[in-house]
Amino acid sequence: MATPSLPPPDPQFVLRGTQAAIHALHFCRGTPAQGHPLLLSGSMSGLVHIWSLQTRRALATLDGHRGQCVTWLQMLPHGHQLLSQGRDLRLCLWDLVEGRHTVTDSVLLTNVSFCRSAVLAGAQPRWMLAVPGRGTEEVEILEMPSKTSVCTLKPEAGAKPGMPMCLKLWQQADSSSRPCLLAGYEDGSVALWDVSERKVCSRMTCHPEPVMALDFDSQKARGVSGSAEKALAVWSLDEQQALKACRNYELTNPGIADITIRPDRKLLATAGWDHRVRLFHWRTMKPLAVLDFHTSAVHCVAFASDGLLAAGSGDQRISVWSLYRRT
């Protein structure tokens, strides 16, 4: 990948104090009184920190994963409910309204894996959750908050994709459209599932190594995935819901831990094993910047709705960047 001609700036600020590697990040809205978005971080020590970006200090620490690594964080769009997934095989639902920090429910996972869960939630009180299934190659779909099993997605006959490594639930803006799941697997393939029909619509091998991360732009019907290799794979869905390879983009060093597309669908950020964050123009995949700040692998990246970027690393620091802000 070509090196940008101008060196990128330093982070706007750095958050410290977790005393453990950072493995999950998520931005959420603060209260009207706070006036700023909040940043949630999950660490190797099993703690979730809620950070004020105004004071740059932790407002609260949530301890619900028995000292096991927190791998995924997600706020639900309705109310003040937080989901956290840990290596303790527990997915916790937290009530954060009015300063509470209470686990109100939990889902017990049945399979030890590195796969982060995924949520499909609108304004309604019911929502859909995809989690690693009981079988090593399975994905379980639950209706929440009842925890009712919708279905178990098992690989098609003859397919041996290995473990699911990353998940993305989505559906078109049209409310009549079916929910779909994109899953990246241990064998390097990406599969599109029709959740209602419980079947694979399309499967394509994107990488020679396990798919470590993926994200999908449903408006452009275009996605991107990364693995342990030195390349990003960009692919699309045609009108028949078939996966089509677009192009692979070579990287300088191997290993992608996380990928996220900015909410306005203009930028793409990747978290690298080589300690770096890379930014791309999402439409053209033109490389824009290499953020070389951390001294250990970057495990996660997240965008705020205003375009602010956060990166979490094994060096126990969270860097927050103001680059290519939304206009």
Cα 327 to Cα 54: distance, rounded to the nearest angstrom: 21
Q: What is the pLDDT of residue 71?
A: 96
Which residues, 6 or more positions from 108, have their beta carbon under 8 angstroms from its beta carbon? Answer: 89, 90, 91
| pLDDT score, position 178 | 86
Alpha-carbon distances of 104 from 92, 126, 142, 145, 277, rounded to whole Å? 8, 16, 17, 11, 35
C-alpha count within 13 angstroms, C-beta hemisphere, residue 219 = 8
Q: Output the CA torsion 176→83→68→108 (10° steps).
A: -60
Give the C-alpha separation, 224 to 233, whole Å: 6
Distance CA 212, CA 63 (A): 27
Question: How far apart, in Å, are the Cα atoms of 69 and each of 41, 75, 85?
Answer: 11, 18, 9
Contact at 8 Å (CB) between 233 and 223?
A: no
Cα–Cα distance for residue pair 162/200, rounded to 1 Å:
15
> What type of residue sits at position 297?
A
Q: What is the pTM of this model?
A: 0.92
The DSSP letter of residue 32 is: T
- Residue in 92, 199, 185, 101 with CA at minimum distance from that of residue 153: 199
Q: Are β-strands 38-43 and 13-15 bridged in parallel, bridged antiparallel, or unpaired? A: unpaired
* 48 C-beta neighbours (distance < 10 Å), count: 26
Q: How many CA atoms lie within 13 A of 31 on its CB side?
A: 9
d(CA 137, CA 128): 20
What distance in Å separates the CA atoms of residue 110 and residue 319, rounded to the nearest whole number?
34
How confident is the model at residue 174, as a pLDDT? 64
**Averaged pLDDT in 10-residue chunks for the chain of 327 residues:** 62 94 92 73 97 93 94 88 94 87 90 88 84 92 93 89 95 75 96 94 95 96 96 94 93 96 96 97 95 96 93 98 78
Q: Which domains does the chain have, with CATH numbers?
A: 9-108+298-327 (2.130.10.10), 114-250 (2.130.10.10)
Q: Give the ranges where the chain is alpha helix by DSSP (H).
A: none
Q: What is the pLDDT of residue 101?
A: 85
